[in-house]
Homo-oligomer: A and B are copies of this chain.
Amino acid sequence: MKSSLVMARLLRVLGGWRSYCSKRQQERVSDDFVETLKAVVGEPNVSIAAAVREQHGHDESMHRCSPPDAVVWPQNVEQVSQLAALCYDHSIPIIPFGTGTGMEGGVNAIQGGICFNLTRMDRVLELNADDFSVTVEPGVTHKALNSYLRDSGLWFPVDPGADASLCGMAATGASGTNAVRYGTMLENVINLEVVLANGKILYTSGQGRRFRKSSAGYNLTGLFVGSEGTLGLITTATLRLHGIPEATVAAVCPFPSIQAAVDSTVQILQSGVQVARIEFLDDVMMDACNKYSGLTNAVAPTLFLEFHGSNQGLREQLQRAEEITQQNGSSHFTWSKELEERKQLWAARHNAWYATLALRPGCKGYSTDVCVPISRLPEIIVETKEDLKASGLTGPLVGHVGDGNFHCILVFNTEDADEHRRVMEFGKRLGRKALAMNGTCTGEHGIGLGKRQLLKEEIGPEAMETMRQIKAVLDPKNLMNPGKVL
Instruction: Tell me the chain A residues, 412-457 only, with Cβ under 8 Å from chain B.
Output: 435, 438-447, 451, 454-455
Contact residue among B206, B372, B463 (Cβ-Cβ distance under 8 Å from A463): B206
Check if A444 sits within 8 Å of B270, measured CB to CB: no
Q: Would B309 and A438 count as touching, CB distance under 8 A?
A: no
Residues in A196-234 with C-beta less than 8 Å from chain B = 196, 200-220, 222-223, 225-227, 231
| A393 contacts B by Cβ under 8 Å | no
Q: Knowing A202-B462, A206-B459, A440-B209, say if A131 contacts B373 (CB, 8 Å).
A: yes
Which residues of B are found within 8 Å of A244, using beta-carbon distances?
272
Residue A11, interface by CB 8 Å: no
Is A98 an interface residue when CB atoms closer than 8 A count as contact? no
Distance of A317 from chain B, by nearest CB (Å): 8
Question: Which residue, of A130, A172, A442, A443, has the highest number of chain B Cβ atoms within 10 A?
Answer: A130
CB contact under 8 A between A444 and B213, given known A243-B272, A272-B310, A474-B469: yes
**Interface status of A132 (Cβ within 8 A of chain B):** yes
Tell whether, in the assembled complex, residue A227 and residue B218 are in contact, meaning their CB atoms are under 8 Å apart.
yes
Are B211 and A175 in touch, CB under 8 angstroms? no
A130 near B474 (CB under 8 angstroms)? no
How many copies the complex holds: the figure is 2
Interface flags for A264-282 (1: CB within 8 Å of B; 0: not) read: 0010011110100000000
Complex contact A207–B460 (CB within 8 A): yes
A362 contacts the other chain (Cβ, under 8 Å)?
Answer: no
Does A245 have its Cβ within 8 Å of any Cβ on chain B? yes
Could you say which of A29-37, A46-54, A181-189, A249-257 contacts chain B?
A181-189
Q: Does A375 contact B (CB under 8 A)?
A: yes
CB atoms of B203 and A459 under 8 A apart: yes
Query: Contacts A131-B373, A211-B443 known; A466 to B474 CB distance under 8 Å?
Result: yes
**Which residues in B have their C-beta under 8 angstroms from that of A175?**
213, 215
Q: Which residues of B contact A173 (CB under 8 A)?
A: 215, 219
Can you spell out 28 A-B residue pairs with CB atoms less than 8 angstroms apart? A128-B373, A131-B374, A172-B215, A186-B213, A202-B460, A202-B462, A203-B460, A205-B459, A209-B458, A210-B438, A211-B373, A211-B404, A213-B405, A214-B442, A215-B440, A215-B447, A216-B446, A217-B467, A218-B485, A219-B222, A220-B459, A222-B223, A243-B271, A272-B308, A309-B313, A312-B316, A313-B316, A472-B473
**Which 4 residue pairs of A and B lie closest in terms of their CB atoms, listed nearest first?**
A222-B222, A214-B440, A131-B373, A173-B215
